[in-house]
Structure 1
Amino acid sequence: MTDRPLRIVHVVRTRSFAGVERFVLRLATAQAAAGHRVAVVGGDPEHMAPALRAAGVGFAASRGAVHDILLIRRAARRADVVATHMTAADSAAATALLGLSAALVATRHFTRRRGSRWPRRIYPVIERRIDAEIAISDAVARSIGIPSTVVHSGVEDAAAPDPAARTRTVLMAQRLQPEKRTRAGLAAFAASGLAEDGWRLQIAGSGPEQLLLEADARSFGIAHAVELLGFRDDVLELYRHAGLFLAPCPVEGLGLSLLEAMSTGLPVLAADAGGHSEVLAGLDPRALFAADDISAAARSLRALAHDDEGRLALGAAGRRRQRTAFSISSQLAGTETVYRRAIAARENRDRRMGPPGAPDALTDRGAR
């Protein structure tokens, strides 16, 4: 078991393409490249299916609870591990795996306890079927209320551009949802006075706050310096040309966009909360500001914008941090260790309790 490739089914049970889905896409692709047989259930078909299939990873769209449970159950009959992401996936997989021997490993992405859809007594039932929990950061591990193994999310190393390619631009890349505090980031940019110094603010992402952000930019008198880019497939290019990256969200489990920005050498500053704190600990103190403190964020923005050498040093330090602590290779190794331990624990439990029912043949095209 320790050497042979694993048969892995990831379950996300959404039809979107946000941070969790990007996490699944990146990890599943890396696992397939390492020789494992991988399939994914859920995520936005437009953004995930072509990339996954090009990497040799099976894909099936989420189509509702009953369909997904049946699909997971068929796939799990020939899988070693079912890896779930978010509570809806946990509950569907726990139901689908009744009587089956595949290990169930849940990855926890958020700094809060499991779910709020159903009465609290439902969650211990789900958790009893889960063989292992992975937390993407120490902040998540501390908050979820049950034992877990921390495996930091990783991103691919990226080539750093020529410093001369960077522009006087502050970039935010995130969903335009209230919890992301995009409006606070815009307010901090306005308070920094950088618009008067020729800096611009670019915001990449879509969501319900777009009209509010447009109104905020007008009310602050900085509409001429603010660009709402909408959803972008070329965020890596935005990282390569920006001068500063701003991450104001105080509840990030870790922050994939932050890590992606760091991988390109883009200097970053972020709310000192959640996973941001451990990602940026020990770097330039200006890289972290008190969460939800617009004045503090504005001071950090202005201080770094007016310090060319400091920005260059912070970008280089962040790039080194990403490569040493948040690489996709280290995530892959840590995740596989948890999977193999969970598989062994499940096999031991099944031996004590007696064999499950005889498995049926896998027929769904979404698993490989």
Structure 2
Amino acid sequence: MRVLLVITGLGVGGAERQVCDLADGLNSLGHEVRLLYLTGTAVVWPASSEVAVEGLGMGKNPLSFWGAIRAFKRHIESFRPDVVHSHMYHANILVRLARLTCSMPRLISTAHNTSEGGRLRSFLYRVTDSLADLSTNVSDEAVEAFVENGAVPKGRMIVVYNGIDLSRFHCVAPERQVPAGDEFVLLAVGRLHPQKDYPNLLRAFSMLPRTYEGRGLRLDIVGEGAERNRLEALARELGIESRVHFLGVRSDVPDLLNQADLFVLSSAWEGFGLVVAEAMACERRVVATDCGGVSEVLGGNGVLVPPSDHKALADGILKALAMPPDETVRMGCAARAHIESTFSLDVILSRWTEIYSSGAN
């Protein structure tokens, strides 16, 4: 089967990593895969060199949108895909509009969040909905949000969860399920963007004691973005700058997860919460805000707190830190089992290939 994957960009993010993992997984199953991205510079790539990757050069000029459509149509003509699978708002709309002038045997549009913009984007999703054979999103909560926002008619969008590559994310040091060393390490991963609500996390961290059970508390934040200067200034204002480390973009997130005692997600909204599932696959304790599909991902194997409430987040962190060692190990094992059965990449690849080949919905 020839599968053409199309995404808005290949910057650092959960959706981008997920599409690259999907490309690699499909390739490993013997499918011929090509991956197109509309705009920007590719930062994440599929691991397999057999997956052809090409940018369409779309910029902010509206004329470049139509240039990207022409470039996309050339790929349709040369590759002749059996399935076109688009991801994220701009790619979804572009590919749907392109279908007005070129033939695609099957078109699937995937959103990756509870919201991909305001009213205009919801309107454009709605009026182009019939151009896709099937729309999907990454959690029940995200599907419900799209219906409520008028972006998709009820019954036209289904859930297909994100998949976790369990060969990359696993517990390599079981003893780290129980704190060791001089510090408790709290880890957060995600771009420095308002969605991730890092001010909420920094304010929560400032409410915690400097030491807990004789060990220091340290917060490591992995990610980059336009909010960095503001967040560093807030850390200084709160007097926690010496205990908060902004690590930037890292390629060793699985290792960092295994070195952490606790993973924290402070987001204001999420579609799925991919990094939560990755932390669970590494058997880490998780404290997360109850937004979007995060509760579906946790499945009761972690501490949920309300979003945008730094006191509740601080209390949740203290609750997780206070877990007895046997409870910490038990929850880590249960979290891993939950990911294996529901969110492993193999499980999700099987679902996608079923949809691609049979039109199942």
Q: Give the shorter-chain TM-score range.
A: 0.7 to 0.9
Partner of 1:252: 270
Match of 1:349 in 2: none
Corresponding residue number in structure 1 for 2:61 = none
2:281·2:336 contact (CA, 8 Å) conserved in 1?
Answer: yes
Structure 1: runs of 5+ lacking an equivalent: 1-5, 346-368
Deviation at 1:29, TM superposition (A): 0.7
| 1:47 aligned partner | 43
Distance 1:62 1:266, change over 3 A: farther
TM-score, normalised relative to structure 2 = 0.86
Q: Tell me which amino acid in the other structure corresponds to 2:341.
A: T
Aligned residue for 1:312? 329
* CA positional deviation for 1:72: 2.1
| Residue of structure 2 aligned with 1:280, choices 284, 293, 298 | 298
**How many Å apart are 1:254 and its aligned residue?**
0.6
Moved over 6 A (4+): none
> Relative to structure 1, is the Cα distance of residues 304 and 15 closer, same or farther in structure 2, using a 3 angstrom cutoff?
closer
Q: Secondary structure at the match of 1:274?
A: coil
CA change 1:69–1:269 in 2 (3 A) is same
Number of the residue aligned with 1:24: 19
What does the per-residue CA deviation read over 1:160-211, in whole Å, with 9 as the maximum and x for residues that have no partner?
Answer: 1224346510000011111211111121112122556501000000112212
Q: Give, as a single letter, the amino acid of the residue that structure 1 aligns with 2:281.
A: S
User: Is residue 70 of structure 1 aligned with residue 70 of structure 2?
Assistant: yes
User: For residues 131 and 39 of structure 1, what CA distance do their matches in structure 2 show?
Assistant: 20
Name 2:33's counterpart in structure 1.
38
Alignment partner of 1:159 out of 159, 165, 170: 170
1:149 maps to a residue whose letter is I
Matched residue, 2:129: 127
* Counterparts of residues 1-368 of structure 1 (less than 5 Å): 6-42=1-37, 45-49=41-45, 51-54=46-49, 56-64=50-58, 65-77=65-77, 78-98=80-100, 99-112=102-115, 115-116=117-118, 118=120, 122-145=124-147, 146=153, 147-157=156-166, 158-165=169-176, 168-195=184-211, 197-284=215-302, 287-309=303-325, 310-342=327-359
Q: CA RMSD in A?
A: 2.2
The one-letter code matched in structure 2 to 1:150 is V
Q: 1:332 and 1:119, CA in 2 relative to 1: closer, same or farther beyond 3 A?
A: closer
- Contact 1:137–1:253 (Cα < 8 Å) also in 2: yes
Structure 1 residues 239 and 119, CA, compared in 2 at 3 Å: closer, same or farther?
Answer: closer
Three-state SS of the structure 2 residue aligned to 1:106 is strand
Q: Deviation digits for residues 10-56 of structure 1, max 9, x if unmatched?
A: 1113252212111110111101111111111017655334x3552x1
Matching residue's letter, 1:190 = S
Task: Quote the Cα distance in structure 1 between the aligned partners of 2:218 and 2:124.
Answer: 48
Normalised by the length of structure 1, the TM-score is 0.84
CA distance in 1, matches of 2:122, 2:87: 19
Aligned residue number for residue 364 of structure 1: none
Q: Partners of 1:312 and 1:119 in 2: how far apart?
A: 44
Give aligned pairs, total. 334
Q: Which moved more, 1:14-23 or 1:289-298?
A: 14-23
**CA offsets per residue over residues 282-301 of structure 1, 9 Å max, x none?**
335xx111121211111111
Higher RCO structure (Cα 8 Å, ≥6 apart): 1
Segments of 5+ residues of structure 2 without an aligned counterpart are 59-64, 148-152
Distance 1:208 1:291, change over 3 A: same
Residue 128 to residue 264, structure 1, CA distance change in 2 (3 Å): same
Structure 1 residue 225, shift from structure 2 partner? 1.1
Which shifted more, 97-106 or 18-27? 97-106
| Change beyond 3 A, Cα 1:176–1:101 | closer
Q: Which residue type is aligned with residue 88 of structure 1?
A: H
Taking every aligned residue pair, what percent have the same amino acid on both sides? 30
Contact 1:242 1:266 in 2 (8 A): yes
- The answer to whether the 8 Å contact 1:195/1:225 transfers is no
Structure 2 CA distance, aligned partners of 1:246 and 1:57?
34
- C-alpha change, 1:277 and 1:264, in structure 2 (3 Å) is same
8 Å CA contact retained: 1:138, 1:275: yes
CA distance in 2, matches of 1:119, 1:207: 23
